[in-house]
Amino acid sequence: MDLQATARAVAAALAAARRVAFITGAGISAESGLPTYRGVGGLYNEMTIDEGLPIEEILSGGTFARDPALTWKYIFEIERACRGAAPNDAHRLIAALERRCEVWVVTQNVDGFHREAGSTNVIELHGNLSELFCLVCGARSQCRTFDGLALPPRCADCGGLLRPDVVLFGEMLPERAVRRYEIEMTRGFDVVFSVGTTAAFPYVYGPVVEASEAGLTTVEINPDRTLLSDVVTHRLAAGALVSLRAIVDALGP
């Protein structure tokens, strides 16, 4: 089935849906100019590592505890590389679907683009790079650019160490986000999308498999094949923006 025919079939399922889940990965932000990547160590393929350590080790919870300045050095590099990027139409198309039904977005991305695009029900399983919090007093702040921050940055209220509210390598997913994820998945969805993710993690793979086994509509949007490619009921082998635009066009006003 070609892309347009698949888009029409998915649109028909969406038209009848009351609850829809979008599980998204780095591929949805590719149109924003961000490379596809894994976790907060996202741009390590384009970094020069001076310390002779794997970037996964530098950007780990253990290294942050021992040497926060080293971890922050490369977090600064990630923020600079991402600077100027913004949500693209794929994010906005998902947000616009809230006018039709209840939509939940579960994302592995730390860029915050789904919220910026207007989605209201967003579960950021890996956190958000622009949200900082103090490890001493717990004060939170939004920081869109890290220019001017000390290395490592300190809390203006108490002088405690700041860190971005993201999951570093080797750390557990945030309890609150996991709890919300489990609640919404238990409530169930009529259509489940996997968009721009390799589906390597069980919290991506599992819900799609369970929905397919229950006879529900499941959709993969990814130009590359993944573990889900032979599981879903519909597969669009194209980028997020092209695929979502075709689906929304087929859905009509």
Residues labelled catalytic: 126
Strands 162-166 and 127-134: antiparallel
Of 111, 123, 99, 102, residue with least CA distance to 43: 111
Stated as kind and residue range, the H or E segment containing 183 is helix 175-187
- How far apart, in whole angstroms, are the C-alpha atoms of residue 10 and residue 233? 9
SS percent in the chain: helix, strand, coil, step 5: 40, 20, 40
Strands (E), 25-172: 102-107, 122-124, 127-134, 140-142, 162-166
Q: Which residues pair with 119 in a beta bridge?
A: none
Q: Are 74 and 151 in contact (CB under 8 A)?
A: no
